[in-house]
Amino acid sequence: MILTVTLNTALDITYRVPSLRPHASHRVTEVTERPGGKGLNVARVLAALGHEVTVTGFTGGATGRMVQDRLTAVPGLVDALVPVAGPTRRTIAVVDEQSGDTTQLNEPGPTVTPAEWSAFQEAYGDLVPSVSAVALCGSLPPGVPVGAYAGLIRTAKAAGVPVLLDTSGEALRRGVAARPDILKPNADELSELTGSHEPLRATQDARRRGAQSVIASLGKEGLLAATPEGRWRAAPPTPVQGNPTGAGDSAVAGLLSGLAERLPWPDRLSRAVALSAATVLAPVAGEFDRAAYEELLARVTVTGEVSAA
């Protein structure tokens, strides 16, 4: 069982329009609604890959009930979300069908009280000993301490459970100091953390700051990995066009599934890159084009070197 944590869950709403123009009215051609937030996207991809997964985090109000109702339809997924008084946020993605570009609008999320945060920490502590890996994903809702992820990392590591961290800003800075097993930033987040715009140097610096392994997302160029076992770069055969929302979350799912299956790093990276690209080709976040994934998996290029023992 893999545990994903989404403290700022969401209802993801995707609108498709023929062409997005500022200051104009638009006729929407298609609307889709899905449970959202990075950890829930990760969980749905993991479930589609055949892994059992538990989701936790916060949920509240009518929007939160809609999220939970839709989670019940996902085979292999267990809902362990913790209720709060405030309403779960919505995220709006507007896809321009002409250009393929996506415009994203993200609400801040509910304000979490100290009592609600304490209830979550207790629930999380009960879940961790029974899982094989933990993914801590996404932004912190208002009211949650900025060092929250650092504390959750320490709880998991005390139980001997490996932890992946995928967040940004000060939550990332505090979290990396708690020594997560895997850090999965994108290029901008990595640069903000380390002050370096050179990805290889930045991944090495992030490891010095505490992360055991750093897997940096380079967008269409794939992934760059710096681990105790070696350094690799993994890239798709060709860039893909589509909706990139959720592509990074699918990469996280690939890394976690590879960890759970004890795959070597090059195989984990190939899976993560193929899933990420196949998600760009899917209509909404948290899903991937399975046929494209299987075709891409055989064609991902992984280059690098293994560290000396």
Active-site residue list: 249
Nearest to 268 by CA among 213, 202, 209: 213
> Which residue do the tokens 């999320």 mark?
109
How far apart CA 239 and CA 171 sit, in angstroms, is 31
Nearest to 66 by CA among 81, 53, 48: 81
DSSP 8-state code for residue 186: B
Beta bridge partners of 237: none
**Based on the number of CB atoms within 10 Å of its own CB, is 28 exposed (0-12), middle (13-18) or buried (19 or more)?**
exposed
DSSP 8-state code for residue 164: E
How far apart CA 26 and CA 137 sit, in angstroms, is 33
DSSP helix, strand, coil percent of the chain (3-state; round to 5): 40, 25, 35
Q: What angle do CA 283, 285, 290 make, to 5 degrees?
A: 65
Nearest to 83 by CA among 120, 55, 114, 108: 120
Contact 113, 143 (CB under 8 A): yes
